[in-house]
Chain A
């Protein structure tokens, strides 16, 4: 029976589409994904959800990975119908709150992609939190949910 479950979990892994959950200290990190990028695109974005239900106030200070030459934390503002993207120094994750990095808002900006992000693949990304420390997550590349 356990063997069966083990095999099933392997299958789920191989599917690639399964988003894994991660923990760093008291933080739970879910829905880690990125959109596939056109081969000519030099930039991409990764998204994730940070659940700080249990811990003290924390902050995402930075992210790093080999996927691109530069990794930054960014946000978007819509000003009178104009989309403005800006670099941010950090992303606060207050106690008791869930912070979503999602399309049209906060994102991990991947600048100078070394290879296109291909649907079904994953890539590692290390997140550095002020209190929860560092955690490496696998970013699943797939189309945004409809």
Chain B
């Protein structure tokens, strides 16, 4: 039993080695080098299950809305005083940087609220527009939010109000989900602190996608 940690390490190394080997075996020749981004880049991109949320009254938000262009999804809530505004501000600045290179037109930004109890569609619309008039908000039934969150590896937890207070807090993943124009999960960006980094990561991701298709 004493050698168990060592065994785990050895098995781990073998598994990683096997994984790399298989990856190279299956990688078609001429595939562009994976972009180095602040997060996870998926090769191949992962298909996304269909879902039904809402972006406005009587206007659903489904997988079809994520096709034909790039989409950046951020899961948060409007009661969030710091991290959500910071990320949306950074996204706005990153979009301005992309615009300088004519690379912003095919990128949509969505904030998906995991807190539909407090975030009405109307409220979300105004909230996202404050950061950039093109940013959109969506939310919906708990089951559909959970389905999408699970699909992207997004975690959140809604807390109960503390005794004596009438508000509650929500823990949530701070990552930005990148969906390619085929509506597939292409990347999860976790390094979201700088607009420069975000913009350059998005350019790398888009560049890879274009090259891989040509």
On whether the two chains bind one another, the answer is yes
**A interface residues with partner B (beta carbon < 8 Å):** 35, 37-45, 70, 76, 78-87, 103-104, 107, 109-112, 143-144, 146
Q: Render B170-214 as a binary contact track against A, CB cut-off 8 A, 1 for contact.
A: 011111000000000000001001010000000000000000000
Contact B82 A104 (CB under 8 A): yes
Q: Which 9 A-B pairs have the closest CB atoms?
A: A38-B130, A45-B81, A43-B81, A84-B171, A40-B126, A83-B174, A45-B82, A40-B123, A38-B127
- Per-position 1/0 for B70-99, Cβ under 8 A of A: 000000001111110110010001000000
Docked CA distance A45–B85 (Å)? 10
Pairwise interchain contact B82-A40, C-beta atoms closer than 8 A: no
- Shortest distance between the CB of B186 and any CB in chain A (Å): 18
Q: Chain A residues near B169: list those with CB within 8 A.
A: 85-86
Chain A: CB-nearest residue to B130: A38
- Roughly how many angstroms separate A121 CA and B78 CA in the complex, as a whole number? 22
B129 contacts which chain A residues (CB < 8 A)?
38
Secondary structure at the A interface, as helix, strand, loop or mixed, is: strand
Chain B 102-127, CB within 8 Å of chain A: the 1/0 string?
00000000000000001000010011
B162 sits at the interface (CB 8 A): yes
Contact A146 B174 (CB under 8 A): no
- Expressed in whole angstroms, the Cα–Cα distance for A66 and B123 within the complex equals 24
Partner of A82, one of B78, B118, B174: B174
Q: Which residues of chain B come closer than 8 Å to A87, judged between CB atoms?
A: 162
Cβ contact within 8 Å between B85 and A35: yes
Residue of A nearest to B126 (CB): A40
User: Bound complex: CA of A95 vs CA of B185, how far in Å?
Assistant: 49
CB distance from B114 to the nearest CB of A (A): 12
- The answer to whether A37 touches B85, judged by C-beta atoms less than 8 angstroms apart, is yes
Contact of B172 among A83, A86, A112, A146 (CB under 8 A): A83
Give the chain B neighbours of A44 by CB distance below 8 A.
Answer: 81
- Inside 8 A of B165's CB, which chain A residues have their CB? 70
Closest Cβ of chain B: how far from A87's Cβ, in Å? 7
- The verdict on A81 contacting B173 (CB below 8 Å), with A42-B78, A104-B86 known, is yes
A143 partner residues in chain B, CB cutoff 8 A = 89
CB pair A144–B89 under 8 Å, yes or no, is: yes
B25 CB within 8 Å of chain A: no
Interface pair B167/A111, CB less than 8 Å apart:
yes
B81 touches A39 (CB 8 A): no
Q: Which residue of chain B has its CB nearest to the CB of A112?
A: B167
CB neighbors of A among B119-167 (8 A): 123, 126-127, 129-131, 155-156, 162, 165, 167
Contact A82 B155 (CB under 8 A): yes
The CA-CA distance from A52 to B195 in the complex, in Å, is 33
State the CA gap A21–B44 with chains docked (Å). 53
The residue that A81 contacts in the complex, of B89, B118, B175, with Cβ under 8 A, is: B175
- B190 interface neighbour in A35, A81, A112, Cβ under 8 Å: A81
Say yes or no: A42-B79 contact (C-beta < 8 A), given A83-B171, A83-B174: yes
CB contacts (< 8 Å) of B85 on chain A: these are 35, 37, 41
Given A82-B171, A82-B174, A85-B169, are A76 and B127 also a contact pair (CB < 8 Å)? Answer: no
Q: Which residues of the other chain, A, contact B193 by a CB distance below 8 angstroms? A: 104
Contact check, B190 vs A41: say whether CB atoms are below 8 A apart.
no
CA distance A78 to B118 in the complex (A): 24
**A45 neighbours in B (Cβ, 8 Å):** 81-82
